[in-house]
Amino acid sequence: MTEPTRIYQKFNSFVEMSHAETEDAQALLRIDSLYSKLGELNFDESKKDVIEKACNALLKPQEASDNPRFKLESYITQEILHQNKEDLPRYLYYRYRYETNFQNFIIDEFPPSVQVEVSSICNYRCVFCYQTDSALTSPKNEHMGLMSVDLFKQVIDELEGNCDQVTIASRGEPLINRNISEMLAYTEGKFVAFKINTNAWFLDEKKSHAILESGVNNLVFSVDAATEPLYSQLRVNGNLERVVKNIRLFQDIRKKHYPNSKILTRASGVKVSTEQSFEEMEGFWGDLVDQVAFVDYNPWENTYERPINDISQPCSDLWRRTFVWFNGFVNPCDVDYRSFLTTGNIKNASLAEIWSGEKYSQLRDAHLNNRRSEQSPCNRCTLV
Ligand SMILES: C[S@@+](CC[C@H](N)C(=O)[O-])C[C@H]1O[C@@H](n2cnc3c(N)ncnc32)[C@H](O)[C@@H]1O
Ligand code: SF4
């Protein structure tokens, strides 16, 4: 008998997570105070409706059975308490839609979340990552490149005021882009859930200042292990000592020059090996960062060679986020890292047009109408 396919649940991708104690009561007080002043909010009525639903789901979870996935998880509490109080409505507006739009198949004018790829090039070859596929990295296939500052500014201009969750990372290493400091300066104060994922190899003094000045909310150091040789066995081409030194430098700069920074730093691992121990991760990284986590492994390093599976559930990414790649192409996910599913290019159309355009609609229709199996590589992917 064949094993049933193991589904990758995007809404539940943290395998383990630890951080300082959080006070749910304090977060709930903030939400309650917002709830009582909703009428005074200077927002569109439709946005206020969403924020009201978000407050209701968190304040009265027992009554919110229609949206069971929007809960006060401890990392959400931590994010709420790390926000400026006045940014809470924008945070809830993003987070509620991110968690629930796909459950109700709602397509807003803008996606709740956008990943901007400033580099598809990476200096590492982590064993679980698509950077190990030469069909991605071979120059002749033209998937490798760096985003220009002008294109980056165009994307940010469209996102500002329309999408509050922006992640600077997709297929490559963002800090490889020599213009990253100038790019980050351009984002200052524009988003309330602004995130970077990095391997920290190129993190230096200048980039640390750029990250802290721009107001990045979540900085994820992808580290996977707490010891050598495990680190460099998983993070091929990496070196734990160098990365730790860079992260220490970042934290020293933060403490000395930005004592009021609200940034949340995380040491994150992809759980792929029984040799990875969460206790060791916590013991080693716990003093250096605010959060330590393992995320579930998504078998995407060889998407196109994976077996065709029998998953018929729609993919949540089609309703919750999109990806803008270094060359302006928009892709519905990064499991399709060779971009067979591209839905347009922001050099020819706005992101909003692409998000609600023909190609996206066809893809969503297929997923909704039990025809995921006809889409490639959706038929080899396990993400729901
Ligand atoms: C593709 S990387 C790009 C950014 C940067 N190079 C880094 O490593 O953080 C983005 C995130 O995906 C994670 N990742 C890579 N391969 C994965 C996999 N097979 N399953 C789940 N997460 C993965 C990385 O650890 C990282 O946190
Ligand atoms: S996980 Fe990040 S650092 Fe590792 S190979 Fe992939 S893109 Fe590079």
The ligand 1 atom at the shortest distance from the C-alpha of residue 128 is: 19
* pLDDT-based confidence at residue 132 (cuts at 50, 70, 90): very high
280-328 pLDDT, tens digit each: 999 999 999 999 999 999 998 999 999 999 999 999 999 999 999 999 9
Residue of the CA atom closest to atom 1 of ligand 1: 171
Pairs from 230-233 (Cβ < 8 Å, separation ≥ 24): 230/273, 230/275, 230/276, 233/127
Cα of 199 from ligand 2 centre, angstroms: 7
Are 324 and 332 contacting, i.e. CB atoms less than 8 angstroms apart? Answer: no
CA 209/CA 299 separation, integer angstroms: 35
pLDDT of residue 4: 63
The DSSP bridge pattern shows strands 291-296 and 14-19 to be: antiparallel
* Whether residue 300 has its Cβ less than 6 Å from ligand 1: yes
Rounded to the nearest angstrom, the distance between the alpha carbon of 271 and the centre of ligand 2 is 14
What's the pLDDT score for residue 14?
84
Query: What is the tens place of the pLDDT at every residue in 209-262?
Result: 999 999 999 999 999 999 999 999 999 999 999 999 999 999 999 999 999 999
Q: Ligand 2 pocket test: which of 222, 246, 272 has the largest number of ligand atoms within 8 Å of its C-beta?
A: 222
Tokens found for residue 226: 């707490």
Can you give the chain as a three-state secondary structure string? CCCCCCCECHHHCEEEEEECCCCHHHHHHHHHHHHHCHHHCCCCHHHHHHHHHHHHHHHCHHHCCCCCCCCCCHHHHHHHHCCCHHHHHHHHHHHHHHHHHHHHCCCCCCCCEEEECCECCCCCCCCCCHHHCHHHHCHHHCCCCECCHHHHHHHHHHHCCCCCEEEECCCCCHHHCCCHHHHHHHHCCCCCEEEEEECCCCCCHHHHHHHHHHCCCEEEEECCCCCCCHHHHHCCCCCHHHHHHHHHHHHHHHHHHCCCCCCEEEEEEEECCCCCCHHHHHHHHCCCCCEEEEEECCCCCCHHHCCCCCCCCCCCHHHHEEEECCCCEEECCCCCCCCCCCCEECCCCCHHHHHCCHHHHHHHHHHHCCCHHHCCCHHHCCEC
Whole-number percent of the chain with pLDDT over 70: 98
pTM over 0.85, yes/no: yes
Contact 176, 203 (CB under 8 A): no
Q: How far is the CA of 45 from the centre of ligand 1 (A)?
A: 38
Contact between 110 and 90 under an 8 Å Cβ cutoff? The reply is no
Q: Say if ligand 1 is within 6 A of residue 218 CB.
A: no
CA 124 / ligand 2 centre spacing (Å):
6
* pLDDT value at 18 more than 90: no
Which atom of ligand 2 is the closest one to the Cα of 171? 7
The per-residue pLDDT for range 149-196, each reduced to its tens digit, is 999 999 999 999 999 999 999 999 999 999 999 999 999 999 999 999
| Alpha carbon 342 to its chain's center | 19
268 lines ligand 1 (CB under 6 A): yes
How wide is the angle at C-alpha 179 spanned by C-alphas 178 and 184, nearest 5°? 130
Q: Determine which of 10-24, 73-87, 211-225 has the lowest per-residue pLDDT on average.
A: 10-24
Q: Is the CB of 281 under 6 A from ligand 1?
A: no
Is 22 a residue whose pLDDT tops 90? no
**For residue 5, what pLDDT is reported?**
78
Query: What mean pLDDT is predicted for residues 89-99?
Result: 96
244 CA distance to ligand 1 centroid (A)? Answer: 18
**What Cα–Cα distance (Å) separates residue 62 from each residue in 48, 59, 99, 298, 383?**
22, 9, 17, 32, 28
Would you state the pLDDT for residue 61?
A: 85
Q: What integer best gives the mean pLDDT of the chain?
A: 94
Q: Using the predicted structure, report yes or no on whether residue 1 has a pLDDT greater than 50.
A: no
Mean pLDDT calculated for residue range 84-103: 95
Residue 64 has pLDDT above 80, yes or no: no
Residue-level pLDDT at 293 = 95
* Structure-token match 């839609």, residue found: 97
Between the CA of 198 and the centroid of ligand 2 the distance, in Å, is 8
Confidence at 3, pLDDT banded by 50, 70, 90: low
In whole angstroms, give the CA distance from residue 354 to residue 346: 8
Ligand 1 pocket, mutate which of 295, 335, 337 (most atoms under 8 A from CB) = 295
Distance, in Å, from the CA atom of 335 to the CA atom of 25, rounded to the nearest integer, reads: 38
Residue nearest to atom 6 of ligand 1 (CA): 173
pLDDT at 23: 85
Say if CB 147 and CB 339 are below 8 A apart.
Answer: no
pLDDT (0 to 100) of residue 12: 73
pLDDT at residue 62 in the model: 81
Tell how far the Cα of 247 is from the centroid of ligand 2, in angstroms: 17
